Each structure stands twice: as structure tokens, then as C-alpha cells.
Amino acid sequence: MSDPRETFAALWGRFADLPVPLLPLQPVLYRIVRRIAARHPELFDRLGPHQRTNFIIDLTDLPLALHLRPNPRALVFRAVRKDRLPRHDAHIAGDVLTLLRMLDAEVDGDAIFFSRELEITGDTEAIVTLRNALDDVEGSIAEDVAAMFGAAGRMALRRMRDMAHGPQLESV
């Protein structure tokens, strides 16, 4: 059986050289971050002074990165080109499935970092604070986002989780 991350990378690898139209993604990403802020205000409270930190989340298996500034008064969550990264304080790089596993709190962020599945540079205190805040969220942010897109979103999340963790049993 092949490594699910290799399968995901191969699937998306076909699109890696194509220019990604970022403009259509921006309102979707903004809607996502607004929904997360509304449903999980404690997440932003836990960030304290790091609410003003500019994070780059480099999706190593996709031709784009995400710029996050988790300030509830001036939220930023947008797709950016890797060759045009904005000024940032912290940089997190990893493949989509690894980042999903971390977002789902399925794996310890320290373990991912030391296994070199995740690379961090810049303000490590801000990155650790963000990770701890995500770990403390009740429920699943990934499920909240998937639910925004109805049945198709839930199915896509289930498929990505299957690739990241192997098939999961449905709860009864």
C-alpha cells in the first residue's frame, strides 16, 4: 500500500505548474476565517499579542501559500503566490495532509517538527502559541470549515482524512 501523502502529492502534482487563480479563493478564505472567529473567539483570545503576527502557511505540495493575521479586529486569511510572500513574522511549511493532521490534533506538533515533516522559521513563540491555541479548541476547525460547504465539504474532508490517517470508522 502506498503512502497516502505520496498519493495526495501525485494527485495535486498535475496542477503544480499551472497558475492558480488566487482572486476566486480570497472571499472563500475570508468567509472561513470569519466563521472560525465567530465560532471560536477563545482561539483568538489565547493568541494574546500574537494576534498581530503575520503568519505564512506554506503548502509545500500546492503552488500557493496562505497569509494569516489572526487579529479579530482586522482578520487576514488569503492565498498568496510563493514568489510574492508578504512581510511576515512566522513561516510554517508542510504538506496539506500533515497540516490537516496537526489542525485535527491527531499528531503532536513537536513530533512533526522533529521528524522534519514541518518546518518553522521566524517567531517560534508565535508559532507555538498558535499551535497551542488550535490544540485547545473544542471540536474540529476542519469539520467547521467542511460544514460550510455542505455534503461536498464533509466528503472532501473525509477523503483527505482517509489519505492522512487511513480509513476511519464512522461513529454510530
pTM here is 0.80
Domain presence at residue 15: yes
Closest CA to 70 of 54, 57, 87: 54
69 found inside a domain = yes
pLDDT tens track for 113-134: 667 778 999 999 999 999 889 8
**Is 172 within a domain?**
no
Read off the pLDDT of residues 29-55 as tens digits, 9 standing for 90 and up: 999 999 999 999 999 999 999 999 999
Which residues 6+ apart lie within 8 Å of 99 measured at CB?
57, 59, 92, 118
Domain membership of residue 101 as a residue range: 4-164
Is residue 79, in this structure, part of any structural domain at all? Answer: yes
Residue for cell digits 505540495? Answer: 61
**What is the predicted pLDDT for the residue at 116?**
75
| Counted domains in the chain | 1
The CATH number of residue 149's host domain is 3.30.1050.10
171 inside domain: no
